[in-house]
Amino acid sequence: QVQLVESGGGLVEFGGSLRLSCVASGSIFSIVAMGWYRRPPGKQRELVATITNKGMTNYADSVTGRFTISRDNAKNTVSLQMNNLKPEDTAVYYCNARTVVAGPFVDYWGQGTQVTVSS
C-alpha cells in the first residue's frame, strides 16, 4: 500500500504560478513512477505529467512548456511547478504513484488538491 498526500493547491490569477507537492509513504520500494493527473469540472481525469524512477518525464501537450515535474527520491516526494496558469488549468489535481512488485501495475491516488485559476 502507498499513501499519497498532496499540498500546494489554491486560487491563483491568470498567468500566476503554483507549486504542488506530493509525499509518498508506505510501500515506497514498489513505486516505479509518480505523476500528476487532474480532473477539470465536468470532464474526465487526464494526464498532466509523470516521472519514472529513472527520471524520464512525460507531459500532456496542454502543459508542456508551462509545467515542470520533479522528484526527490530521498524524501519520496514529487512536485509540479505550474507557471503561466490558465483558467483551463482549473481542476482537482491528483498525485499518482504507479507500483509494481511481481505483477501488473497498481496505481495509488492522493485525495486531490483544488487548483483554481481566475479569469
Tens digits of residue pLDDT in 16-33: 999 999 999 999 999 999
The rounded distance, in Å, linking the Cα atoms of 97 and 79 is: 12
pLDDT tens-digit readout, 67-107: 999 999 888 999 999 999 999 999 999 999 999 988 899 99
Contact criterion met (CB below 8 Å) for 20 and 11: no
Model confidence at 35, pLDDT cuts 50, 70, 90, reads very high
What pLDDT does residue 101 have? 86
Grid cell for residue 43: 470532464
What pLDDT does residue 46 have? 98
Could you give the maximum distance between any two Cα atoms of the chain, in Å?
47
The rounded distance, in Å, linking the Cα atoms of 35 and 24 is: 11
